[in-house]
Every structure is written in C-alpha cells, then in structure tokens.
C-alpha cells in the first residue's frame, strides 16, 4: 500500500469518528465526488495484535480492480472508529493518509443515539429498531421488576465490559488523543449536526480542502456502494451488502437525510455516564469545534458562527 501512495496511484482520506456521528453518511458523500474512489468502512474494526498491515491489505484489495483503468490517483475514503486504533497504530496509519477528517457530533445527540442503538441490540438483537429514544426511562423495567433500567444496563456495558471499559466505546477519549497527536497532516472537523443542516455549504468547503471535486450527487442520488472491511473475506455477492450493518440506515440511503433527533436530557443519565459526558465528551467536542470555527475561510462558505451557530 505504501508503494501505491508514494507512487501517486492512490490518495487516502481518513475519517476518524466517534460512533453515531453521521460518519458513514459523510463517507458516502465523499465517495460520490468527481474522482474515481472507493469507500472502505472500518478496516481496523477486526484488527488483531495491532497489525496495521491488515487494514493496508483491505485497501489494496479494494482498489486493485479499478487501478488499471482509472485516472490516478484513486481516492480511498477510509472510515474508522477512533477507539479501535491505538496511539502507535494511528501514527503509522496516518503517515499514509493525505488528510484526516474528524467526525464528531454534539455528545448530547451522539450519546442519545448510541444508547438507543445499544439498548436495541442488547434487548432485541443487532439491527433492531423496536426501541425509540423516548422509550428509554431511567428505572422503569421493560418486562418485569427484575429487569434493570435500560439506561443503567447500557451504562454498565459502556463502563465495564469486554467491549468497552471506562466508556471507551463512546470514542471521545480516543478521538481527543488522536487529534492532539496529529500535527503533520491537513485535518478538518466534520460536525454531524452542521453537516446535516447545511450539507451543500459544508461539502463544498470540505471538498475544496481535501482537493476533490464537489458534485451535487454528493448530497442526493448516491449511486456507489461501500465496502464493509469485515465482509471482504465473504462471498463476492455479499461484500457490498449493508443490510446487516450497525449503520444500516446510512448504508442503504440514497442521500443525506435529516436526523430530527433531540438531545437526550443529560440529567436523567446514570451518574457515571453523566460524568463522562460532562468531563470527557463535551470538553473534547468543544475543543474540536473551537478548531473548526477558528478557520479563516469559513465565511466564504457561509459556515462561520454568524451563519451557522452550533446546534
């Protein structure tokens, strides 16, 4: 892969994300630019033993079919959850990337989406949408008095489980550390709320910074599929099937859709999760948004605070 990057055959744009930040939708938008491109979803998701070469093999296998006939460079959009990359792996990977896009969302929105998703997966199976955010009381049992409150159950999963320790699965500690550590590559902040409210303005700004051609099809009329890295070893007919993905709505959509999700009332969260929101998630979000609004070129895209306040 390094030879392909150094030889100018491919250009990797890395999307570093917290979960439920609309990062999959953003990846699909960028995949509809004027360039020949491939969008690879989470090549580090199943990484073993910190081996960055596995993700590199995913990239090479994904671009090989188009390299011989495409105008170079082929743009590779790689989206990864920040918590899946250790500091050393992140540094190694980022050396091969032309730019990094930090995909975030107000934690009061992001955590509500994450909690709802986890509650559905835990109670009704992966991909279920039976529970809505309004169905998540703090202490009311779902089936019998023996059942713990849904928010308590999800908080414990995030706080202390094989899948997540000390709320690592929210992604905020990892993305903050990676951002602080990333000084040698052009980087851009993509706030999910801003992106979904004014996609035309935001995508024009981001495309210009990334050096790719903006097209109206980036907003609506998505045609290109994306590759789930953990399906690359499956039968070819199933590699592009997004139906079972955790991000199935963005995977099956044909354009940007308004989310319409209200922030979860933080005061109803269990104390441990509430502390994580106020002490880790919100400060990290505010640091990244400060970096975004500190840019001098936002006014020409009408993305400055006066035109697009946070929210």
Closest alpha carbon to 218 in 1, 8, 25: 25
pLDDT score, position 235: 39
**Structure-block tokens of residue 16:** 């570093």
pTM value? 0.89
Continuous H helices in 190-281: 192-197, 199-210, 248-252, 271-276
Continuous H helices in 265-304: 271-276, 282-293
**Structure-block tokens of residue 164:** 């997540």
pLDDT score, position 184: 65
Beta bridge partners, 97, equal 12
pLDDT score, position 269: 86
pLDDT score, position 274: 94
pLDDT score, position 64: 85
Alpha-carbon gap, residue 153 to 155, rounded angstroms: 5
**Structure-block tokens of residue 10:** 């491919």
Alpha-carbon gap, residue 238 to 235, rounded angstroms: 6
141 Cβ contact partners less than 8 Å away, ≥ 6 residues apart: 147, 148, 149
pLDDT score, position 141: 47
Alpha-carbon gap, residue 128 to 294, rounded angstroms: 40
Beta bridge partners, 286, equal none
pLDDT score, position 268: 80
pLDDT score, position 147: 46
Q: Burial level of 294, CB count in 10 A (0-12/13-18/19+)?
A: exposed
pLDDT along the chain (311 residues), means of 10: 88 94 91 90 69 80 82 90 92 92 94 88 83 64 53 92 93 96 85 92 96 93 75 46 57 72 79 96 97 91 78 58
pLDDT score, position 136: 66
The residue written with tokens 């859709």 in the block is: 257
The residue written with tokens 């109670």 in the block is: 123
Largest CA distance in the chain: 63
- Domains, the chain: 2-107+171-260+283-301 (3.40.50)
Alpha-carbon gap, residue 133 to 203, rounded angstroms: 29
């Amino acid at each position: 892969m390094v030879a392909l990057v150094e030889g100018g055959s491919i250009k990797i744009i890395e999307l570093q994300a917290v979960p439920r930040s609309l990062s999959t939708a953003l990846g699909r938008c960028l995949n509809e630019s004027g360039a020949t491109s491939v969008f690879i979803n989470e090549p580090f998701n199943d990484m073993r033993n910190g081996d960055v070469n596995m993700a590199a093999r995913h990239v090479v296998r994904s671009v090989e079919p188009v390299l011989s006939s495409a105008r170079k460079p082929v743009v590779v959009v790689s989206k990864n959850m920040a918590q899946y990359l250790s500091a050393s792996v992140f540094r190694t990977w980022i050396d091969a990337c032309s730019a990094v896009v930090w995909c975030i969302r107000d934690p009061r929105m992001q955590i509500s989406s994450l909690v709802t998703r986890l509650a559905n997966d835990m109670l009704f199976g992966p991909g279920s949408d039976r529970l809505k955010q309004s169905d998540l009381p703090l202490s009311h049992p779902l089936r019998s008095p023996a059942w713990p409150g849904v928010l308590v159950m999800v908080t414990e999963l995030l706080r202390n489980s094989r899948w997540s320790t000390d709320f690592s699965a929210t992604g905020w500690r990892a993305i903050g550390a990676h951002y602080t550590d990333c000084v040698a590559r052009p980087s851009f902040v993509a706030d999910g709320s801003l992106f979904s409210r004014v996609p035309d303005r935001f995508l024009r700004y981001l495309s210009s910074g990334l050096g790719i051609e903006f097209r109206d099809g980036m907003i609506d009329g998505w045609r290109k599929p994306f590759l789930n890295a953990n399906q690359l070893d499956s039968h070819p007919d199933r590699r592009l099937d997004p139906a079972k993905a955790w991000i199935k709505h963005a995977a099956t959509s044909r354009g940007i859709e308004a989310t319409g999700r209200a922030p979860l009332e933080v005061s109803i969260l269990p104390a441990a999760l509430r502390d994580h929101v106020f002490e880790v998630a919100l400060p990290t979000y505010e640091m990244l948004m400060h970096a975004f609004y500190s840019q001098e070129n936002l006014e020409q895209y009408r993305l400055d605070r006066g035109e697009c306040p946070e929210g």
